[in-house]
Structures are given as structure tokens and as C-alpha cells.
Chain A
Amino acid sequence: MTDGPVNPEPPTPPDGQDGPQIGRDEWVARVEGRREGYHGIMRPIREAWDRLPRAGKLTALIIPAAIFPLITAEGNVFRYGLFTMVYALLALGLNMVVGFAGLLDLGYVAFFGFGAYTYAILASPHYNLHWQAEAALPVVVVVCALVGFLVGLPSRRLIGDYLAIMTLFFGQAFVLFVNNANRIKFPFVGYTDLTGGSNGLPNVDPLNFFGYKLGDTRQQYYLLLIAIVLVIVMLYMIRDSRTGRAWRALREDPLAAEAMSMPVNRLRLLAFSSGAAVAGFTGAIYVTIATAALPGDYDVGLLILIYAIMILGGFGSITGIVFGAIVVTSVPELLRSTANARPIFYGVILIALVMTIRPWKRLAAVLGGLIAFGFVVHAIASAWYPRLVEGKAQGSGWFADFLNHWMLFPTHVTTMAQVLYIFMVAAIVIVPQLPRLWRTILLVPLLYLVIFVWENLMIEQITGATKLILLGAMLVALMIARPQGLAGEAYVEIV
């Protein structure tokens, strides 16, 4: 998305390594990244995408989103569309704080919750206020911006890590407060049930613009879509404005920015406030969809989700974030059933192998060896330790049949699989550190072990523990492979 001059002959890296080097000159990193990244099939697509002006990209994103509700019936798929958009909105707001201005805000979902609760107080039977949306929404936005401002005030004296800590604690404090606000003796009013405590505030009114109620899920969807488009447009405009450029300078090198007489503190406060305002706005809309404001919704789990979206999509990249939101909401849904989880798991392993084992022959050797290894082990087990193969693979179909002949399925597998899980994690850490030959040789039994643990232990818990294990592993792997996220800008940090 940059329009800098493109040097047809990028300078060769001094130590001959390929790939953009984080820690080197930013311009160089970008150019090489560009040239480097477009291989093979993706090349014409990526180049075409880069050539599109921004409005074109936006249109390309909107049209599928607009058609989506017409082709899906009401139901879970639809709800996930709604949630995707809420998360995307949140991530876009967070992008303003973290991606644009470089402030690590770990209490962001507290603003989301603040907006939700404020709207719930203004438009529910709780205090018998039934404000209409056109009055309540601006109030929510202003109040949240104010809170963002207040939270940002102490940040003036804090550098990166301390800011992260403080905002994290603010987030925790918010959840604690909201959970117990019906027990606090406020200074002037005494005990009052401000937030409903652990019950939350139920029966929030649906959005009501000038008397026109948006009660239907489809209408809410389109409203969210409009909101996203507006926010994206706003973000684009901000990014190229003076403030956006000032934020970028602040992110890259705060000391230099200050030396350039940029009002650093004001910029920080502005970033916090704007991010909080977007979060509050999203919170108000969200609470009308969920029809209740519950304390548990605004806790660390959601924070991790939003950050995962931002990391996946790349800090600072708007299209990346939208993409990340879609992935993060759809993948757990896809993973709900065994039938879906398997292709994803094996697909990921295959892709990882293809991308890391370079010469084709080596890759073929590993895959062939793996298949052969499996059959050999299965044959040995059938002959000498029949109890190891008495179980069956989950699910049905040709693949499960294949697995039954290829993989071990012991009957009382749980303890064994648990021990082997630990062994597997240790092996995954150790094997890549070994010299190349050993690595290739041990890769085959290691893969077999991984598939064993997956089939026997992890696949059952696919909706619970396994999903999050995969998320954690994905975060680590992503950071190691590509720290700037999938679509982010590689940047240099000057500390």
C-alpha cells in the first residue's frame, strides 16, 4: 500500500541471507519483502491486488460481505458472520492504538465492556431509561473517549512495557468492578446496583433509530457492515493525515518524534481516546445483539482473541485485520466436528512440511518414509502387541479406514497418550536443534508420534483444549516465522 519508488535492483544483503531482515533498514526490508514475497501462483493475484486503489479493495471486500446474508439462512452461520464483524471492528479500533501509534494496550476490551454497559444502562429496564440509539450512541462514544483519555493520562510517564502492565491491570480492574458493583458503597448515593453484579444487565433494548427498530438479525448485520465500512474509511483517512503520520513517527522512535517537536503526549492521549471510542461504539452495538451485558464477556479471553486477529492480520494492516477476523471466527467453527478438523490438521502439517523442507526429493523421502514407517509399525504391533491396535479411529470414511491400518489405536489409550504428549512436545523442541541428518531421520518418527497423539487424544477435545493449544502454538510459530503478521509491514524497532 505504499507508493515509494521501487528500485529495480535492490541491494544484495551483505551476508547473503534471503528474506527481509528485521533489524535492517526499513526501506530495504520492504522492497526485498515485496520482491521476495511474490512467487508462483500468488504472484499475479498479489500484484493485481496491490495495483487496486484502496476504494477498489474496499469494494472487493464489501460485495461478498453484503451478499453473504442473502445466501445463508438464519442460524449459526449467520451469527458467526455477526461476531466476525464485531471482532473486526474491535481489532480495527485496537489497530489505531497498537498498530498506528505503537502503544501496547492490554486493557482494550475494558473499553468495549464500558461502552456495552453504558449503553445497557441507558437503554434497558434497569433504571427504566429507554433512550433511543441516536441519543445513546453518541453519549456512549463520548463517554468512552473520555475514559480512554483518563486511562491514557498516566501513560505519559510510562514506556512500552509499563504501559502494557498498567492497561492489563485496568482491564482486570474493570471486570472485577463490574462483577461486584452492587456491593460498593458509592460516595453520594450509597449502595446502588449499577451494573447488576454477576447477573449483568439483561433485556437491553434493540437499536432504535428515530423510532425505527433494528430487531432483526439481518438488519443488525447490515448496520454492522455499514459501521465497518465507515470505520475503515476513517482509518484510511487518518493514516494518511498529519495525525496518522505523527503516530507512525511516535511508533517508530518516540524520542526522535519528541525532538521533532511533535506533541507526543497529546498524540498518545488522542490514540487512546480514539481507540476507546471505537471500542465503546462497538460495545453498544454488540450489547444490542447479545441483549444482555454480562461481566464474563469482557475478560481476557476476548482480549486474546482480538490480539490474535491483529497478529494474524499484521499490525497496521487494515485488510489483514479483516482477513484475520474472518479466519479467527471461522476456524474454531470449522474445527467443531472431527470431520472438519482432520483436513485442517493434516493440511497444516503438509503445508508446513512443504514450506520448510526445500529440495523436493527430501520432502518426497520424508513423506514416503512416513507412510512406510506407519505400515511397518502397525504390522509389528498387530503381530506382537495386538492390544495396541484394537481401537478404532474416530469418524468414518475412507480416511478413517486408512488410519485403522496405518496408525496405532490402543484401547486404554488415555494415560499413554498423555505421557506421549509430553514426550512429543519435548521432541518438537529438541529435534529442530539437531544437525541436519539427524533432523531428517528423526522427523519421520516424530511426525508419526504427532499424528498418534492427535488421533488418540487431541481430536476428542477439539472444541476445548485442543483448539486453544493450536492457537497458542500458532502464535508462537507465527512470531518466529513472520513477526509482523501476515499482511503487516516489517518495521524496525529502535530501542
Chain B
Amino acid sequence: MDWSLFLNLTVSGLTLGAMYALIALGYSMVYGILKLLNFAHGDVFMVGAYIGWFVLHGLGGPLGTDIAPDLVLLLMFVGAMLGCGVLGVGIERFAYRPLRKAPRIAPLISALGVSIFLQNSALLIFGAAFRDYDTYHFVGVKTFQVGNLFISGPELLTIGAAIGLMIALTLFVDRSRTGKAMRSTSYDREAASMMGIDVDRVIAITFFIGSALAGAAGVMWGLVFGQIYNYMGFIVGLKAFTAAVVGGIGSIPGAMVGGFIVGLAEAYSTGYLPQGSIFANLYVFALLILVILIKPSGLFGQAAITKA
């Protein structure tokens, strides 16, 4: 048993999984409240990565920052989270709110339209070339070595920050009044509004939080993998979506666990299964189909009592 391979793959999987989990949270929360699959969420993640890049270069770029690198990182995260949060709220108001009473397929198509719009607006404004975070000259990749295990600074930051954000979210949803409002709205929207909860506001907050988390994931992606481009949201969004479904769509702990499961699955299949690096995506999708067939509501989801 090659422990070093296993540990390195685990680190790789946890890093990926942390990012997937953050994005999956957005999918799950929105689905829980609106029963809407927000196709545009992956592109919000992409926008977050770009915002982080612009903040980085606005402050002088990876090689020439005047202020401490830690502060730069913090500003990148804050900027991306705020920007994406506002973007998410805007999308909801413009593209989904008028369609609350329309047949289910209408907001789905609208989400698709928003996704295409975002991808190509990024193409128009930012160009098709890859943008580089140049982390390795910037943060100064300190690769920590524990025995045979290599873990780099950005990877550690990603896992740590993601866990921190998830803890904060869980506390928020469990303890605060708004969190309670969110939970009850996702349970039954009409009843919640009859109880005096401002449903529109709750939905806006949900979108804000979900998009902010995706924005944070975008900055993390840029730091760990270095390159961002305008179509990166599509496949990452798809996998995060897989994570949300595997964990049980609509369930917050489900999204977190699902994210890590998918990340680890991707890493392990690349490492262990035949032709893994080529077919890793295929294996992940196969996992999804398996989970759906065995337990359609996902790991943490409740068996849906639907009329259909």
C-alpha cells in the first residue's frame, strides 16, 4: 500500500472537495428555497475568480504589492465575496423573480440564458486568454513536507478557509433569526410568508450567501491552480452540482459532505483507476448515477414527497 500516493491523493481530493463544497452549498440552498436548478451558479464562481485577479492586480500584482501579502489575500477574498454576492442578488431579481409563478422549465431556461450571458460577457471583457494568478511567485509556495506528504500553502489555505466558512454558515443558519427564516422558507414558502417572514428578502439573502461562497471558491481556485478563463465555470459547476445531488439537494450538510466526496472520488479515480486522468470525470458521473439510482434523494436528503 503506497501511503504517500494515498496521502497526496487525499490532500488533492480534499482541496478540490473544499471548493466543490462551497459551490454546492449555493446550489443546495437555492434549490431548497426555490426548487430551482441555478445553472448560472458555476459562472458566478468564475466571476469571483476574475474579481480576485483584478483586486490582486489592482494592488500591484503578484510581484509588486506594497501591502502585506496576507492583507492582499484577505482583500481578494472580501472583494470576490462581496462582488459575487451582489451579482447573485442581481441575477435573482432580474432573471428569476418574474418567473416565480411560471412553469418550472422557464426559470431553468432563464438560468441557462444567464449562464451563457455571463460566460460570454467575460469573454468579451476579459478576452479568451488565460489569466494567471501567478501564485508561485506571490504567496511564495511554501510546500510543507510531512514525511512523504506534500501540501502547498494555497492548498492548506483553501481547506482551512473553506471549513471556516462552512462552520460560519452552519452557525448562521442554526442560530440566527435570519437562518431560521431561511430554513422555514425552504420548508414551505407559503406558510412562511403567512407567518410574516419577508420571503423576498430571505431569498435575496440566500442568493447573496450562496454566491459569496462561490466567489470565495473562485479565488481559491485561482490560488491553487493558477489559471482562470471564462469557461471554467461550466465543468466545475457541473461537478459541484453533482456534489449537491449526491449529498442530497436542498440539504446544507449534504452539500458539504457531497463536495468532499466528489473531490475525493475525482482524486482517487485519477490515481487508482485505469486511465484515470482521462476518465476521471466519467467516473465521477458514474458515481452520481449510482447514487441517484440507489437513493434518489441523496445521502442527506429527505425522500421527496412529491406528487410527481
Contact = CB atoms under 8 A, between A and B. Distances in A.
Q: Tell me if chains A and B make direct contact, with any CB pair below 8 A.
A: yes
Contacts of A433: 93
Among A158, A162, A183, max chain B CB count under 10 A is at A162
Contact of A173 (B116, B275, B282): B282
Contact of B116 (A154, A165, A311, A475): A475
Contacts of A104: 105, 108
Interface stretch (A86-94, A202-210, A339-347, A418-426): A418-426
A471 B123 CA distance: 14
B44 to A, nearest CB: 14
A172 interface: yes
A478 B241 CA distance: 26
A469 B118 CA distance: 8
Contacts of B120: 465-466, 468-469, 472
Given A465-B123, A495-B306, A474 B113 contact: yes
Contacts of B242: 165, 169
A476 B117 contact: yes
Nearest to A473: B117
Q: How large is the interface on B (under 10, 10 to 19, 20 to 34, 35 or more residues)?
A: 35 or more
Interface in A184-208: 184-185
B254 to A, nearest CB: 14
A159 interface: yes
A480 B101 contact: no
B124 A461 contact: yes
A476 B279 contact: no
A157 interface: yes
Contacts of A429: 90, 93-94
A166 B274 contact: no
Contacts of B296: 157-158, 162
Interface string B245-288: 10001000000000000000000000000110011011001101
Nearest to A158: B296
A158 B292 CA distance: 8
Contact of B238 (A172, A253, A493): A172
A440 interface: no
A127 B286 CA distance: 30
A493 B103 contact: yes
Interface in A161-179: 161-162, 164-166, 168-169, 172-173, 176-177
A162 B110 CA distance: 18
Contacts of A176: 279, 281-282
Contacts of A169: 238, 242, 285, 288-289
B196 to A, nearest CB: 23
Interface in A428-481: 428-429, 433, 457-458, 461, 464-466, 468-469, 471-476, 478-480
Interface string A284-302: 0000000000000000100
Nearest to A458: B124
Contacts of B241: 165
A480 to B, nearest CB: 5
Interface in B288-308: 288-289, 292-293, 296, 304, 306-308
Given A475-B116, A483-B103, A464 B308 contact: no
B206 interface: no
Given A160-B104, A425-B121, A494-B307, A480 B116 contact: no
Interface string B107-129: 11110111111111101111000
B245 A165 contact: yes
Given A468-B119, A495-B307, A166 B124 contact: no
A104 B112 CA distance: 14
Contact of A172 (B102, B112, B281): B281
A160 B108 CA distance: 11
A154 B289 contact: yes
Contacts of B281: 172, 176
A264 B203 CA distance: 35
A184 to B, nearest CB: 7
A307 interface: yes
Interface string B78-116: 000000000000100111001101111111111011111
B22 interface: no
Nearest to A433: B93
A419 B13 CA distance: 37
A408 B107 CA distance: 37
Contacts of A22: 101-103
B37 interface: yes
B112 A475 contact: yes
A160 B308 contact: yes
A333 B104 CA distance: 32
Nearest to B245: A165
A37 interface: no
A284 B123 CA distance: 34
Contacts of A395: none
A131 interface: no
B274 to A, nearest CB: 7
A495 B104 contact: yes
Interface in A224-249: none
Given A172-B285, A307-B112, A183 B292 contact: no
Given A22-B102, A433-B93, A468-B119, A173 B285 contact: yes
A252 B234 CA distance: 31
B37 A161 contact: yes
Contacts of A304: 112, 116
Given A159-B304, A480-B99, A495-B307, A166 B113 contact: no
A421 B119 CA distance: 14
A486 to B, nearest CB: 13
A479 B285 contact: no
A159 to B, nearest CB: 5
A428 B275 CA distance: 48
B124 A180 contact: no
A495 B123 contact: no
B285 A472 contact: no
A416 B101 CA distance: 39
A487 to B, nearest CB: 16
Contacts of B249: 161
A185 B275 CA distance: 10
A13 interface: no
A307 B39 CA distance: 15
A491 B104 CA distance: 11
Given A176-B281, A180-B278, A493-B103, A472 B109 contact: no
Contacts of A253: 307
Given A422-B125, A493-B104, A468 B289 contact: no
A126 B201 CA distance: 61
B120 to A, nearest CB: 4
Nearest to B118: A472
A311 B116 CA distance: 15
A483 B102 contact: yes
Contacts of B117: 469, 472-473, 476
Those 3 A-B pairs whose CB atoms lie nearest each other, nearest first: A475-B113, A472-B117, A472-B116
Given A22-B103, A172-B281, A475-B112, 4 more contacts: A104-B105, A165-B245, A183-B275, A466-B120
Interface of B: 35, 37, 90, 93-95, 98-99, 101-110, 112-121, 123-126, 234, 238, 241-242, 245, 249, 274-275, 278-279, 281-282, 285-286, 288-289, 292-293, 296, 304, 306-308
